[in-house]
Structure 1
């Protein structure tokens, strides 16, 4: 009896299914189109190539008070790389000291220059010099030689009311030691009085100087500026030069120049070396005033070419 009931149920289900299929109209089945977003992960960008660092020397302010000693210990241990007007202005004391800077949140170097009585080391009296340098007593890592790639970097800040001479007011130089052209800087950053005052990049292939590029000085005033200067030392076929100056706070590019076909050497030079500070003419002293120029984070890096 149970088998008979199950058979009838199965037969009934088949009959219902048959009736439903018979009543169903043949319709085309349409699958609605849909946009399928497939998220493809971008290929990771290759990491930028970095040059091999052969040597790196850093000079940072410590605020401990022995500023000349600190500078000399890095740029020429046991010798003196500081060129100041102290001898003509002993009552003032040292013309380079260290001070805490709130913008950088660190100690920085402060370079003083006074319209009077400061001069150039009691040697020349038509100009004033307060600079630091590297020279023949410096470690080899601070001397630029042919076929060497060097990156100089530093920060500086001039006052919001900084005054320039119509002659020259240098804040950075690259000079030769030795040879017939070592009195003329190879590269100079100078400010110059004008309408408006300008920052100039000056260059001397031999013993005469030209302006490679200049720009309005106003954006530099009262701001920390970060400088990166890259040099391959050599004659014109191998020498290269690049410099970038940026507003340190905003990273805005204020000035740049690049040349991969430029003579970055001087005839019969022993080596090239940098200088930083303030070195200005007194030919237009009425345009000048006492100044404080701040510097920080000097770095000299030699890279493998």
Structure 2
């Protein structure tokens, strides 16, 4: 009898020991945010604020109205050859691009009859810009730092002039304004077409700072970022990258560069195609695609 009572006591003790007296299991929601940690001080930066704009095609608005709405302020920022070639219609349109899977701007230029804004000369132009009537945040003044960005694509059979085929310019609005301060121009070379980065200071002496093979750009979407500190001893940085594989085609920085002109109040960017017609037999009708123009004024 005593043995039986002892066995029952041992069994009872073992059963109590195995019983879980803790709270019932709760389902853990792994999607909940992690426990909030005390805030940490953000490292100091010399950039106080930024302001600017982005211009992207949308396929819905009238092309010229869209460009002027973003860049123009109270004026017209489009320099097109429509008046010399009315049968074609607008020389900047919006098209859907399968690579980017969105609408982009298409800049059209024809060897004939397109000219320079209705004036027959040895060159032709299809560009957009900011200018003196644009919002202040889209114009650069002395000692300001501005970052520009954009995407563009030239055709795989693109043919540049041996003289100049400007795709981007930084120009003064007034003062010593005949030549751009910074130019990206495509140029025919017997040894192979190139894209040149040209700097022209207040002395009007154009210097090709660097060139890269145009074949690396042809038929590909290209992303460009450039930053200027506008000063007589300014700084200039540029990054050109091929989007399909991320290959860096150009990455350069320059210090003590003359990036201002005498008599100038503001500077501005230009994008599009502006080319020489001195050797028209070398050229063909072109469509250059652009999109996602950005201007950011960095206030320090």
Structure 2 length-normalised TM: 0.83
Aligned equivalent of 2:283: 288
Partner deviation per Cα, 1:2-57 (whole Å, 9 max, x = no partner): xxxxxxxxxxxxxxxxxxxxxxxxxxxxxxxxxxxxxxxxxxxx989684432021
- Alpha-carbon distance between aligned partners in 2 of 1:166 and 1:80, rounded to the nearest angstrom: 31
2:171 to 171, 175, 181: 175
Say if 2:299 is the partner of 1:304: yes
- The answer to whether the 8 Å contact 2:74/2:134 transfers is no
Aligned to 2:107: 111
- Alignment partner of 1:263 out of 258, 266, 270: 258
Q: Greater Rg, structure 1 or structure 2?
A: 1
Matches within 5 A, 1:144-159: 144-159=140-155
Cα separation, 2, equivalents of 1:225 and 1:177 = 27
- Cα displacement (A) at 1:213: 0.6
Q: Deviations over 1:123-179 (max 9, x none)?
A: 242111000000011000011011111000000000000001010000000000111
Give structure 1 stretches of 5+ with no counterpart: 1-45
Change (3 A) 1:301 1:79: same
1:99-138 alignment, distance < 5 Å: 99-138=95-134
**Secondary structure of 1:249's aligned partner:** coil
Partners in 2 of 1:51 and 1:103 — Cα distance? 35
Task: Give the length in aligned residue pairs.
Answer: 257
Deviation at residue 268 of structure 1 after TM alignment: 1.6
Secondary structure at the aligned position of 2:137 is classed as helix
Give the whole-Å Cα distance in 2 for the aligned partners of 1:227 and 1:50: 24
What is residue 186 of structure 1 aligned with on the other side? 181
The aligned residue for residue 199 of structure 1 is 195
Unaligned ranges ≥5, structure 2: 1-41
What secondary structure sits across from 1:131 in the alignment?
strand
Deviation (angstroms), 1:208: 2.2
Q: What is residue 233 of structure 1 aligned with on the other side? A: 230
Give distance in 2, aligned partners of 1:222 and 1:47: 42
Instruction: State the 4+ residue runs in structure 1 displaced beyond 2 angstroms.
Output: 46-54
Q: Deviations over 1:168-194 (max 9, x none)?
A: 000000000111x20110000000001
Instruction: Give 3-state SS (helix, strand or coil) of 2:216's partner.
Output: helix
Q: Displacement of 1:212 after TM fit?
A: 0.7
